[in-house]
Amino acid sequence: MLTVRREGHTMSPHSTSRRASSAAIIAAVLATPLLTAVPALAAPCKGLTCNWSDKGGGGSGGTGGGGTGGNSGPVEPPPPEGLTANEAQGFVPVDNGGAPPPAAATTLDWVAVAKSSAVLPTPVVHTAPDGKTYVQVRTSLWVEGFDVVQTRPIGEPGQMMIQATARPSSVTWNMGETQKTCVTAGSKDGKTCHYTYKRSSAGQPGGKYEITATITWNVTWTCEGPACDPQQGDLGTMTMTSPPTPLVVSEIQTNTGQ
């Protein structure tokens, strides 16, 4: 798992308003998994909180029709006792204690949301021989999930849209007796990633090694639109580790005739 947080994000001097802005965005934007094929952006979020619903034509438009035209327009009933008109419609004012409103979301605020919404694929381990190998025999290693992945673009349509991209750079294999790093996904023929055991797994719990593979991705982001500031950046690395996979390693028995 481009599992996406605010790690590595540098806060501006306006920390209080920026935190409020970021909290509002993160609470509103649904987490979107990283996809190899990014779907078309349909009805993107346009507001900072994205939690206001359209109340239809019962707002100012209805009262406008009845301004000087007598009884030509509908008349809304008065709100219940103790409530304002806005409160009766569900728009409850927020008392911020006199503090200034939160600052508008910046490019880096949206970048943090993009990173925190990303979910990396879980590696799937393969070996050849499969399930059982031998000391001093080259064992081929490869993984599924060694892919370039992207988040769905998010932001302010027409102003700035941010997309994060994760590119795999290496696989770190924990073979039970040591670790090995390969810079490719590996393959069944073992040409680009393999390992040769020096000891059997007889002394291990259950008589087997539990091997794992951890893929490391380099994560970057880009921004498109007139409000982008900056337009691209580096989010460092992210990793995802496979579930443990059992592998029995035996000694090769040789028989000599008398």
Report the range out of 5-19, 42-56, 128-142, 244-258 with the highest average pLDDT: 128-142
Q: Is 152 left (phi over 0), alpha (psi -120 to 50) or beta?
A: beta
**Do residues 221 and 114 lie in contact, with contact meaning Cβ atoms separated by under 8 Å?**
yes
**164 and 88 together in one domain:** no
Q: What contacts 134, CB < 8 A, 6 or more positions away?
A: 197, 249, 250, 251, 252
Quick one: pLDDT band at residue 8, thresholds 50, 70, 90?
very low
**CB burial string 154-186: b at 16+ within 10 A, e below:** bbbeeebbbbbbbebebbebbbbeeeeebeebb
**142 and 70 together in one domain:** no
Residue 10 maps to a domain: no
Measured CA to CA, the distance from residue 64 to residue 56 in angstroms comes to 14
**163 and 189 together in one domain:** yes
**39 and 112 together in one domain:** yes
**125 and 240 together in one domain:** yes
Q: Look at residues 146, 91, 106 and name the one whose alpha carbon lies nearest to residue 233.
A: 106
Q: What contacts 225, CB < 8 A, 6 or more positions away?
A: 155, 156, 158, 159, 160, 161
Residue 244 has pLDDT above 70, yes or no: yes
Residue 209 maps to a domain: yes
Residue located via tokens 């649904």: 30
**What was the pLDDT predicted at 42?**
35
Q: What contacts 55, CB < 8 A, 6 or more positions away?
A: 89
pLDDT digit string, tens, across residues 26-58: 444 433 444 433 333 333 433 333 332 233 333
Split into its structural domains, the chain has a count of: 2
**What was the pLDDT predicted at 212?**
98
**What was the pLDDT predicted at 50?**
30
Residue 5 maps to a domain: no
pLDDT digit string, tens, across residues 135-158: 999 999 999 999 999 999 999 999
Measured CA to CA, the distance from residue 139 to residue 211 in angstroms comes to 12
**What was the pLDDT predicted at 117?**
85
Euclidean distance between the first and the last CA atom of the chain, given in angstroms as a whole number: 58
Mean pLDDT score, 75-83: 59
**Full strand arrangement of the beta sheet holding 124-128:** 124-128, 138-144, 194-196
**89 and 108 together in one domain:** no
Residue 138 maps to a domain: yes
Residue 180 has pLDDT above 90, yes or no: yes
**What was the pLDDT predicted at 118?**
85
Residue 177 has pLDDT above 90, yes or no: yes
> Percent of the chain at pLDDT above 70?
59
**36 and 90 together in one domain:** no
**176 and 211 together in one domain:** yes
Q: Which domain holds residue 76?
A: 54-94
Residue 203 maps to a domain: yes
Measured CA to CA, the distance from residue 168 to residue 183 in angstroms comes to 9
**What was the pLDDT predicted at 96?**
58
> Percent of the chain at pLDDT above 90?
55
Chain centroid to Cα 208, Å, comes to: 34
**What was the pLDDT predicted at 4?**
38
pLDDT digit string, tens, across residues 201-236: 999 999 999 999 999 999 999 999 999 999 999 999
